[in-house]
Copies of this chain bind each other. A is one copy, B any other.
C-alpha cells in the first residue's frame, strides 16, 4: 500500500517552491526580467572554468570504464585524499583520507551524518533561523528535531536557551554557518561557548554529543573575512560540505563529510557511512563530478556579485526603515517584515512583482528572506519596486 506519511505531505507544499513557481508564471506574463524573484538559492554565477575544462579533459583522455566505473563505496580514494589535504592546509586539522566520505551534496552528507550519530527516538537540536529542509532530513531518519528560538538581535545562536533545552536524549546538534536564511556567520565566541557547553554536557550525561556542521556557504563570506571553522572548536564534529554554492554546481550533487580526526571512533565513522549508504540508496556521487571537483579543490566561483548585492540591498532596506541584521556572507538577508504577519507582507509584495519568502518555516515568523543570487542590475531595478511597495502599503502619512 502507498505510504500515507509521505502522501499526506503533498498537501503541505514548499512555500519557497510555490513562490518560485509563481515567479515563473508571472514571468511568462510580463517577462521574467520584470519579476524581482528573490525566492530561490540557485547560484547566479558560473562555475569556475577549471571545472568545465576538467570534465571535458576527463572525457577526452580517460577510458570510459575508468571514468564511469563504480566508485569505491566511500568515494574515489584519490579524491578523498585531495579533499583531506585541502582541509588540512586551510584549517590546520590533520585530516587523512579515512576521515572523508564523498556525498551527493550537503543533503546527502546530512542524511548520513544524522544516521551516523543518532538512532530513532533520539533528539537533535538546531538553532533558528534554520533551513526548513532540516525537518525532513532529521525527522525521516527517526530522530526528532527541536529548534532553539532565534536571537533576533544578531541571529547568533541563543546559547542560554540552548543550554536549558539540553537533555540526555540530545545526541546531536546541527548548526549552519554562514547561515541560511540570515547570512550571519557564527562568531568565534559563539563557537567557543557552544563547544564548552557541549563538552560539559558530554561529561554530565556520560555520552558523546556530536556537532553536525552544515557548511555549503563556507567560502561565501564578505568584507575579506573568513568564517570560523566549527570543527576547530569541538572534536566531535562532522562537517557536511557541498560544492553547490562555492563552485555553483547544485545540479551535480557533489559534496562530502569530513570527520574530525579527534572525534570518537574517527577512524571508522566514514566506513560506517558506507553502511548507511546501502539502506538509503546513496552509493556515491557521480564519479566524473568527484574527479572534476578534485581538479579545482581550492577554487571558488567569482562571488563578488553576492557581496555587491548584499551592500545595495542592505543599504536600501536600512534607508526604508527595515530592522535588518547585516549578512556576513551567503546570498541571503533576513529583514523583519513591516507588519507582524510576514505571510501577508510577502503576499502584498507580489503586487509589486517582488518575490519575498516569509521566514515562518525558517523558525522566524515576522521576518522574510531574500535570496539575492541574481544579477546586480536586477537588484538595482528592484529598489524602485521595493520603495513603492513600502511607501504605498506601509507609509504612516
Contacts and interface: CB of A to CB of B under 8 A. Distances in A.
Interface of A: 1-7, 9-10, 17, 40, 42-47, 51-52, 55-56, 59-60, 63-65, 67-71, 73, 103-105, 107-112, 115-119, 122, 133, 136-137, 139-141, 171, 207-208, 210, 248-253, 264-265, 268-269, 271-272, 275-276, 278-289
Given A2-B264, A10-B271, A43-B65, A140 B280 contact: yes
Closest 5 CB pairs of A and B: A140-B279, A111-B281, A251-B287, A136-B278, A46-B64
Given A283-B108, A286-B286, A275 B6 contact: yes
Contacts of A105: 281, 283
A282 B284 contact: no
A51 B67 CA distance: 12
8 contacts: A1-B119, A2-B269, A2-B272, A47-B68, A107-B283, A141-B279, A280-B281, A280-B282
B137 A278 contact: yes
Contacts of A2: 116-117, 208, 264-265, 269, 272
B3 A111 contact: no
A145 to B, nearest CB: 12
B6 A137 contact: no
B111 A69 contact: no
Nearest to A286: B286
Nearest to A250: B70
Contacts of A133: 278
Contact of A251 (B59, B116, B281, B284): B284
